[in-house]
Structure 1
Amino acid sequence: MAPSTLCLCVLQLSLLAGFASGLQITSPGGISLEKASGESVTLDCQFKLDTEDSGPLDIEWSLLASDNQKNDEVVILYSGDRAYDNYYPPMKGRVHFNSADPKNGDASITLTGLKSSDTGTYQCKVKKAPGIGSRKMLLIVMVRPAKPRCYVEGPAEEGKDVVLRCTTSEGTQPLKYTWEKTSGSKTLPASAVIDPAVGTVIVKNASASASGTYHCAVGNRVGSEECILQLNVTPPSNTAAIAAAVIISILLILIIIAIILFCLWRARNNKKYEKEICNEIREDVPPPSSRISMARSLTANSKCSSLGSMSPSNISEFHIKSQYDKVPLSEEFERPPSHNPAPPPTVTRMAGANISRMGGVPVMIPAQTRDGSIV
């Protein structure tokens, strides 16, 4: 070996010996911690300085990225005799140093109100020139199972497979489910099949003896919760009768709806027909004559027939009767009784002798029948 090479090896050994006697992390590294969400955890990092470590003390805690494409996050920092805990917003206010003066060799920190997002690898790095040391630890924050829900899936009838389910809304895997019967014989039916990973119990060909109270518990490494289920296995139902009743009910409802629609349709057609009859105008029928015009026409006809059959004996009666045959006008109906005209004077019939005595000449007028022929 050349003298230059020998000198270089001696120098490297001396440097390694110097570093070995410098700053040292005394807490064990490579450990794993499991905690439940909402709890607190202390990440231990004790160190020891050497007389040669005379530089400023720097302590850095960081959360290492699980992906090489991402950067490590500084959680808390101590430098220049001051602590800085605002580097990582998700942990702001939840992380602090255990010691008020980390220079005494305690760089441990405490995390409060743990969340599942706090899971990861943490590194403690202590630097005091020329010494430097670091350690890593894994923190696993597990979510405690939420209270599960127990229920029976499908009908619980004799002769059928009854499924009991137990589910929880949250909880860190792996979750383990356990079932037990707490009433009667306090043993699960012999035909029961349990799936502890999913939380189901299938009771094959269930019978009435399977009825009772069942207890389900779900848990992981940080906690457990439970629920209770009451199972009542009933006799099989008459599905054919139920189906027939449903069909008959549907038919009755359809018939009632059809009757209602028919009644509404008929009422609508009748109303439409009445409306068309009211609006129909017939051209071949003359308008009805008024009461007064009909009365006047009847009076005129009666006068004409009376004149045709008139004789001296009834001439005077015609004049009197004609006064009463007149149809009163609308004004006369409205006229007060005090304004009505006086009745015509009565004409007395005179005999032929009286007419001769008074200087008149009696005249014989042939008689006529009602149809106007001379008698």
Structure 2
Amino acid sequence: MGAPGRHTLWTLCVCFAALQTNALRVTMRESTVEVVRGDYVILPCSFFTSSPLSRLNIIWTMAPFSSPESPIQVIVYDHGQIIEDPSLIGRVGFTGIPWSADIMVNDTHVSDAGIYRCMVNNPPETADPGIGELQLTVLVAPSLPACQWDGDTDAGGSVTLSCSVAEGIPTPEIHWDKLNPEEISLPINMEGELSGSVQIVNVSSQTSGLYRCSASNVLGTENCYVNLSVFSAVAGNSSGILQGVLLTLSMSLMLLALLVLMTWLHRTGQDGRWRLSKEEEDEEGYNEIRYTPSLMKRSFV
């Protein structure tokens, strides 16, 4: 390549570098950010510009995960004025304007999660604004799960243990365990993302015990419990036999008491009649001796 060609190439490179230097650049220091619900979070957005900041324009938008095609405007900085979305007033703000486009969101809600875009424009630089993008995830600890059981607890029956949790981000993992007499992990049937059940067939006395459902994610674990008691047929028959024996014994005691009472009454009646007869005999004998005429005559002979 001759000297004229090399000069032309160098000129093009210099011009391109100048254009690149003068163009506004936006840099997102993080691509994903996580925050626990209720805490505050800083969403970073850095930019470089070679022009004065008198006409600086910054726009933050957020597209919810549930409806990414419907972004909302979070906050705007335009020629020294700040405009917040009405639903975020008091919870969102710039941290270093105009030198930085970082914003802070406090008292975070689950609805704050989504794709955030930072758009910066600073005329007279390039007409196309620089755009950065990041994803915000709001973490939620598992709520206290609700445990219940349903089915037949007689020996040979079937029982279903159910567990459900109202919320948790990331989605909590649900586990069922039997705690005593030894801890055993049980196979679980998931019924949606937030509930799971365990089916126990042909239950026996060994099925009885304390069962635990656990809901876990990166923020912790919550538990609920079910105390299951299985009634065996043998125990039921023994109970029936015992009740029959007690009933028979009670009736026997009542009959014995009645027999004793009747015997006593019978003897009491005979004794009364015997005493009455004896008294009558004595009285008749006395009267006969006292009033017999022959005896009176003999007494004076």
The verdict on a shared fold, with TM-score over 0.5 as the criterion, is yes
1:227 to 224, 229, 233: 224
Per the alignment, do residues 174 and 156 of structure 1 end up closer, same or farther by CA in structure 2, a change over 3 Å counting?
Answer: same
1:108 aligns with 2:102: yes
Q: Which residue of 2 aligns with 1:121?
A: 115
Equivalences for residues 235-250 of structure 1 within 5 A: 235-236=232-233
Distance 1:13 1:177 in 2: 61
Q: Is the 8 A contact 1:44 1:107 kept in 2?
A: yes
**Map of 2:42 onto structure 1:** 42
Counterpart of 2:21, as a letter, is S
AA matched with 1:43: L
Q: Is the 8 A contact 2:32 2:135 kept in 1?
A: yes
Q: 2:187 aligns with which of 190, 193, 217?
A: 193
Does the 8 Å contact 1:213/1:228 carry over to 2? yes
Partner of 1:28: 29
Conserved in 2, the CA contact under 8 Å of 1:193 and 1:203?
no
Deviations 1:190-222, CA, capped at 9 Å, x for gaps: xx5323564212223222122222221113445
Instruction: Evaluate the alpha carbon distance shift between residue 172 and residue 74 of structure 1 in structure 2; reply closer, same or farther with a 3 A threshold.
Output: same
The match for 2:244 is: none
| Letter of the structure 2 residue corresponding to residue 176 of structure 1 | E
- CA 1:15–1:115 in 2, change beyond 3 Å: closer, same or farther? farther
RMSD after superposition? 3.4
The amino acid that maps onto 1:144 is A
Larger mean Cα displacement after TM superposition, 162-171 or 13-22:
13-22
Structure 2 letter corresponding to 1:78: Y
The 3 A distance-change label for structure 1 pair 36 and 195 is farther
Query: How many residues matched?
Result: 222
Written as runs of structure 1 = structure 2, the 5 A alignment for 1:1-375 is: 16-22=16-22, 23-28=24-29, 31-50=31-50, 52-53=51-52, 55-64=54-63, 70=70, 72-85=71-84, 88-99=85-96, 102-103=97-98, 105-129=99-123, 130=125, 132-172=129-169, 174-188=171-185, 192-195=186-189, 198-236=195-233
Bigger drift between 193-202 and 203-212 goes to 193-202
Determine if contact 2:28/2:134 at 8 Å carries over to the other structure: no
Contact 1:35 1:222 in 2 (8 A): no
What is the CA–CA distance in structure 1 between the aligned matches of 2:52 and 2:118, rounded to whole Å?
Answer: 18
User: 2-side partners of 1:223 and 1:40: how far apart?
Assistant: 20
Unaligned runs of 5+ in 2: 1-7, 237-301
Q: Specify which structure has the higher proportion of strand.
A: 2
- For CA contacts below 8 A with separation 6 or more, give which structure has more relative contact order: 2
Q: State, as a whole percentage, how many aligned pairs show the same letter.
A: 27
Deviations 1:16-52 (A, max 9, x none): 43342133334336x23343433322211122333x4
